[in-house]
Amino acid sequence: MCWIIAPALFLSCFAVFWHAPAQDRSSANDLLFFLSSPDSPLKGYPVPLTAGVIPKRFHSHNDYAQNVPLYKALSYGASSVEADIYLVDDELLVGHTPFDLSKERTLAALYLDPLMSLIQTANEKATTGTRRGIFELAPAITLNLLIDIKTDGPSTFDKLYAALEPLRSAGYLSTYDPHTSSIKQSIITVIGTGDTPLSSVQALGSNKRRPRDIFLDAPLAKLPGDTAKVYNHTNSPLASIDFGSGVGLWWALPPVGKARIRMLVEAAHARGVQTRFWNTPIAPIWLRNYVWQMLLDEGVDWLNVDDLPAAKDF
């Protein structure tokens, strides 16, 4: 066991002197978070929420727990956000546990309606045939919207599919094209995780009335042994794994830790699927940054983050 602990102690002593906590933005920037709110007195002013923001590949984990869901993540350049949903009395409520739910915090109120408003505002002056996405500096980039289903998979999935109809009708959702066997990217790519059933995703796309515009966050651990390629780019643009089970303490022995990461990444990339490791260390800061860099060095596509300012500056 000493050969695991010794490298960790060395890294700890070294990194303490070289890694300082990331500084948050000025509180004046909080103004940006409310420009798209229906109640904002500045709603009529043409100041884009993402003005000057460079989007990056980091995922706002449990985004609804931020002091301002969605808007804060976008203002820092997060190209992926996550919402946990529960089907309660025919409503999709957002929260981490059943005790966090309230009738005001619906998926539509926190995410779907604001996204529709942001997109419509960005395209007010768009010419025919053009369509701008969320980020002003990179209008062609898609935003990943991960929906973590916490209640019964099939029924919650069906309710989610219905709730997406306004975005679907407007053509804002990425959709699987069976003729080209590829995903046609649009402004938002919806990816179901948690208890999202693979069978529900696979059932979509068989006819034009029910296009496949909800995809699956595949279990990354299963991909190396998935010789039948049940999980592939047509149903799962993303595959994820708990960092603890995928790497664990092997981060302290880089040759082994990196090899484990690389094996999973290569299995996913071979079938056109991107990767994400969740439950990565959040403290101490030197360890968080060390793990982030290790993941990026081995080709992981998305950093799973809670500290948005730190991810922006990383």
Query: What pLDDT was estimated at residue 138?
Result: 95
CA distance linking residue 222 with residue 75, whole number of Å: 35
Decide if 91 contacts 112 (C-beta within 8 A): no
Task: Report if residue 297 sits inside a domain.
Answer: no
Cis peptide, bond prior to residue 255, ω within 30 of zero: no
Give a yes or no: residue 303 inside a domain: no
pTM: 0.85
d(CA 243, CA 236): 19
Residue span of the structural domain in which 196 resides: 48-243
Written as tens digits, the pLDDT of the chain (314 aa) is 443 344 444 444 433 333 333 333 333 333 333 444 444 433 443 457 899 999 999 999 999 999 999 999 999 999 999 999 999 999 999 999 999 999 999 999 999 999 999 999 999 877 767 789 999 999 999 999 999 999 999 999 999 999 999 999 999 999 999 999 999 999 999 999 999 999 999 999 988 889 999 999 999 999 999 999 999 999 999 999 999 999 988 888 899 999 999 999 999 999 999 999 999 999 999 999 999 999 999 999 999 999 999 999 99
Element (H, E) at 265: helix 254-269
Q: Is 292 contained in some domain?
A: no
Q: Report pLDDT for 199.
A: 98
Give backbone dihedrals phi and psi of 211, rounded to 5 degrees, phi first. Answer: -65, 155
Give the C-alpha distances (Å, rounded to integers) separating 31 from 66, 101, 281.
15, 26, 30
Distance CA 197, CA 91 (A): 19
Number of domains in the chain: 1
How many C-beta neighbours within 10 Å does residue 232 have?
17
Q: Which residues lie closer than 8 Å to 274 by C-beta, 6 or more apart?
A: 237, 238, 239, 268, 301, 302
pLDDT tens string 243-296? 999 998 888 889 999 999 999 999 999 999 999 999 999 999 999 999 999 999
| pLDDT on residue 48 | 74
Contacts of 86 (CB under 8 A, 6+ apart): 92, 93, 94, 95, 98, 101, 150, 151, 156
Is residue 61 assigned to a domain?
yes
Q: Is 257 part of any domain?
A: no
Q: What is the pLDDT of residues 172-208, one digit of tens each?
A: 999 999 999 999 999 999 999 999 999 999 999 988 8
Instruction: Give per-residue burial for 156-189: e unless 16+ CB within 10 Å, then b.
Output: bbebbbebbeebbeeebbbbbeeeeeebeebbbb
- Report whether 146 contacts 59 (CB < 8 A): yes
pLDDT the model gives residue 14? 35
**Cα–Cα distance list, 299 to 19, 82, 96, 293 (Å):** 23, 22, 29, 10
For the chain, the farthest-separated pair of C-alpha atoms sits apart, in whole angstroms, at 65
List residues bridging with 84 in a β-sheet.
Answer: 148
Q: What is the DSSP string of 168-237?
A: HHTT-B-EEETTTTEEE--SEEEEEEET--HHHHHHTTSSTTS---EEEEEEGGGGGG-TT--S-TTT-S
State the Cα–Cα distance between residues 243 and 23, nearest whole angstrom.
Answer: 26
Cβ–Cβ under 8 Å, residues 198 and 224 = no
Is 109 a member of any domain? yes
The answer to the question of residue 301 being in a domain is no
In a domain, 282, yes or no: no
